Structure 1
């Protein structure tokens, strides 16, 4: 079996090679790559291996960018720490997922699973569906780096943000009554980078989290007035044309 490793951490490459040799000396690691650019070039000039061990975060971007340039028709075992959404998707689509640091038992199980995957006629379609769903999900912002006093950057998880708004001409991420942060992004930019299942652009001034909603008032002219758990000092109105869209978003339809 010929294996390709796509990983930008040298220690992780060494560890994976050692484990593969220990589990099955017949597995040949034909190459290791650490960037999207190198991967695209490699697949353009080499035969597809029997399996690819692929980290999601590479030296120059997300490994999902590779699939925008080349088609990889072989099983892929992803080797990275990723979120619960991804973990569920991998399991459903029968593509294995190894959480770093990788152990021998997990790797052995993944290699055994390959035998089934390689003989499944629907495996290519399942892999394509998985890649598509994770490409979309992987584009959504998960953290901000907020400049602090001195030479520090404060990490702010998107999960902490209740809403984003324009306040005094600047964009703010509001976490609590007493905690908010200025962001360099416009609301348009944020709307494109946030997960639409979790955040909704209610109007030109607010993007809100579903968890931030306290209750909703029926308003004049068939509009809605959204009341948040953290008071905003002004009414957040949803126009008549977007009421159904908001209701569907909020109820998860």
Structure 2
């Protein structure tokens, strides 16, 4: 099988190449393209690939921009580190994706899926068009206020004034920019779905933080990051090596 990778992170492309060769030594990597521009140039002249792995966020833009310039009929498996809204779009449009860090078993399943069910002519571009409409739509609404029980009161707390959410011995709490702490009667996973991903980030299993609450980021061992926030958290906030790159991209948006 002839494969093209569209990935701007060297470590990620090398890891994916290793996994592909592990599940099938006959897979041949034709090219590794690291930008929207290089992908447009390549696919404008070559459709030799039988399968494409494409990262969503590239150094010079979003990979969906490629389809506005060139028509690609080759089956594509998208890879993403964090874009929950994009994942919902994939599900609606029946486009396959892999969440980073890529799991070998999930990769094997995705490859088998495309081997057993070839892409129908014209279907991919129709799906991409539908996905672009979803991603570019401004109809997506996010939660702006949490009505929180506090003693014998119900207090409306604006999300813009929340510095971070975290789990404390199984209880979800919200800490405001004024350093007030409230218990939120919801799961952290549900809160993550309700918040604007451009503003809030689920940095690990325990914390969701507001971008404006970040004071600084420090390098930690094995490629991990330490995030210091204001108000100060009692718990150390660690970003894993697998999520470090996407987290830094989120900060830089």
TM-score in terms of structure 1 length: 0.52
**Is this contact kept in 2: 1:93–1:127, CA < 8 A?**
no
What is the DSSP-based 3-state SS (H/G/I as helix, E as strand, rest coil) of the residue aligned with 2:125?
Answer: helix
Deviations 1:61-116 (A, max 9, x none): 00011001100011000011344443344345443210000011010000110023
- Partner residue in 2 for 1:135: 132
What is the DSSP-based 3-state SS (H/G/I as helix, E as strand, rest coil) of the residue aligned with 1:31?
Answer: strand
- Partner residue in 2 for 1:175: 160
**Is this contact kept in 2: 1:93–1:126, CA < 8 A?**
no
- Partner residue in 1 for 2:2: 2
**Is this contact kept in 2: 1:77–1:97, CA < 8 A?**
yes
Mark the runs of 5 or more structure 1 residues left unpaired by the alignment: 142-157, 163-172, 180-197, 199-253
- Partner residue in 2 for 1:72: 72
RMSD: 2.9
Rounded to whole Å, the distance in 2 between the matches of 1:74 and 1:62 is 19
Alignment of 1:237-252 (within 5 A): none
**Is this contact kept in 1: 2:73–2:122, CA < 8 A?**
no
- Name the CA shift for 1:127/1:85 in 2 (closer, same or farther; >3 Å): farther
**How many positions carry a matched residue from both structures?**
151
Alignment of 1:105-144 (within 5 A): 105-118=105-118, 123-139=120-136
Rounded to whole Å, the distance in 2 between the matches of 1:27 and 1:54 is 16
What is the DSSP-based 3-state SS (H/G/I as helix, E as strand, rest coil) of the residue aligned with 1:95?
Answer: coil
Q: Cα distance, 1:43 vs. partner?
A: 1.1
Higher relative contact order, structure no. (Cα contacts within 8 Å, ≥ 6 residues apart): 2
What is the DSSP-based 3-state SS (H/G/I as helix, E as strand, rest coil) of the residue aligned with 1:15?
Answer: helix
Alignment of 1:84-99 (within 5 A): 84-99=84-99
- Name the CA shift for 1:70/1:10 in 2 (closer, same or farther; >3 Å): same
- Partner residue in 1 for 2:19: 19
Q: Cα distance, 1:133 vs. partner?
A: 2.5
- Partner residue in 1 for 2:33: 33
TM-score in terms of structure 2 length: 0.52
Q: Cα distance, 1:49 vs. partner?
A: 0.7
Mark the runs of 5 or more structure 2 residues left unpaired by the alignment: 146-157, 163-175, 178-195, 197-253
Deviations 1:181-230 (A, max 9, x none): xxxxxxxxxxxxxxxxx9xxxxxxxxxxxxxxxxxxxxxxxxxxxxxxxx
- Name the CA shift for 1:176/1:22 in 2 (closer, same or farther; >3 Å): closer
